[in-house]
């Protein structure tokens, strides 16, 4: 039985959708800081929350990659 270690490459600025809803009713969160724990902000109410990275990997349903804005300076 192979026990491969997999760590999803979360990046600052990504928007994630979680399984459970926040008390405000929102399910989408913006990743503000990513390391061993993840700081994220609810896109509905603006509340910030710190979550262990392993817990985020279990609770995450979808990851939306940020689009590059080509209208501004490089």
Length in residues, the chain: 74
In a domain, 1, yes or no: no
pLDDT exceeds cutoff 70 at 64: yes
In a domain, 72, yes or no: no
In a domain, 71, yes or no: no
Average pLDDT, the chain: 85
In a domain, 74, yes or no: no
pTM of the entire predicted model = 0.77
In a domain, 26, yes or no: yes
List CB contacts of 56: < 8 A, sequence separation 6 or more: 10, 16, 38, 40
pLDDT exceeds cutoff 90 at 9: no
Task: Judge contact between 14 and 60, C-beta under 8 A.
Answer: no
In a domain, 21, yes or no: yes
Please give the tally of structural domains in the chain. 1
In a domain, 8, yes or no: no
Domain region containing 34:
15-64
Where would I find the H helices in 1-74?
A: 53-59
From CA 62, how far away is CA 14, in angstroms rounded?
A: 10
In a domain, 2, yes or no: no
Give the tens place of pLDDT for each residue, 26-61: 999 999 999 889 999 999 999 999 999 989 999 999
């Amino acid at each position: 039985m192979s026990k491969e270690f997999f760590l999803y490459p979360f990046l600052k600025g990504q928007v994630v959708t979680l399984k459970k809803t926040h008390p405000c009713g929102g399910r989408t969160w913006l990743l503000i800081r990513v390391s061993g724990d993840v700081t994220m902000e609810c896109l509905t109410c603006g509340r910030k929350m710190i979550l262990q990275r392993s817990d985020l990997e279990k609770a995450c349903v979808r990851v939306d990659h940020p689009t590059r804005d080509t209208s501004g300076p490089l």
